[in-house]
A = this chain, B = another copy of it.
């Protein structure tokens, strides 16, 4: 060490060993988030240790390890599950790889993170939820949009009674890429599982449990059957759901992969007896808030949710130095690791496997409704089935 230098003091915060499955888009997003945590959440927080990353193709996973900052890599996810240094198993792998590895990690006593959809089949989601609960590990379904500062502020306003009783709600998630019939398919899934489950989770997070649904699916572009990795792609380019919530409020939830110009538009609006909220992911820092009242200057207020009193924005940058999409993952994983280190609950802010299961049940009921043409009751997560 040259004269005048002193070594940086050791970071004394607890380390948490992470093992991650998956090196695609989500693997990159999770890695990026984990690397950003230590300096952003300070002096609290913890030090995620990027112990190992697993993936099927050695050249790709090796490159990802270097690129994303993981210490080691493995071509078999079991290496992570068997590694005692791995305390958290983060499943950012393809949809089809969500169940078995996560169950194995739970069986090994790991805390578990799993990308959405938790499982393509409700029965699998149920197994994951049951196993995680039985094992007493922390579990997180990656509904990352709960961790946008504007969404959290909306949640606080709704739960704090600022909107009064909800009267009507609407949720949508629209993207455009599958309008191109030659678009590469990322997974053998459709609008419901690729993006619709996010809209369902936002609805449950902000409004409450969904009691029943009527739904229609359509697939104008992806019919006849196309294949992705040898499997037929689920036949829904769009899904539209008429939802009735436990509270009696009625609303719509829809998703589309074939909406030109809507590049990443997860959006919602809530109307209540005392006010309204609206938000769109395409302008994720901005929440629109209307409060009923007297006077000549009523209307929707555009709130830039980047102020010191906005809990998920405060650790980041000064006023209106806006955040991007990736910060949702950082906030989400910081929250989960905090729950792990401090043994605190993941919910209600974080989505657990119960929430992943609940979203799957709404999807299942939607498919049943589309087939029968009937309003279908959604089985509650807590119900014995």
Contact = CB atoms under 8 A, between A and B. Distances in A.
Given A8-B72, A52-B5, A375-B374, A299 B303 contact: yes
A383 to B, nearest CB: 20
The secondary-structure label for the interface of chain A is mixed
A168 interface: yes
A229 interface: no
A262 B251 CA distance: 16
A10 B69 CA distance: 10
A85 B273 CA distance: 51
Contacts of A375: 214, 373-374
Contacts of A286: 283
A309 B295 CA distance: 8
A79 interface: yes
Contacts of A176: 292, 319
A167 interface: yes
A317 interface: yes
A289 B300 contact: no
A274 interface: yes
Give the size range of A's interface with the partner: 35 or more
A282 B322 contact: yes
Interface string A66-90: 1111111111101100110100000
A299 B296 contact: no
A104 to B, nearest CB: 14
A216 B242 contact: yes
Given A238-B168, A242-B240, A275-B260, A72 B289 contact: no
A261 B298 contact: yes
Contacts of A240: 168, 242, 250-252
A320 B175 CA distance: 9
B72 A7 contact: yes
Interface of A: 1-11, 25, 28-29, 31-32, 35-36, 38-40, 42-43, 52, 62-63, 65-76, 78-79, 82-83, 85, 153, 156-157, 165, 167-168, 170, 172, 174-177, 179, 214-218, 220-221, 237-238, 240-242, 244, 248-252, 254, 256, 258-265, 271-276, 281-284, 286-287, 289-292, 295-307, 309-310, 316-327, 373-375
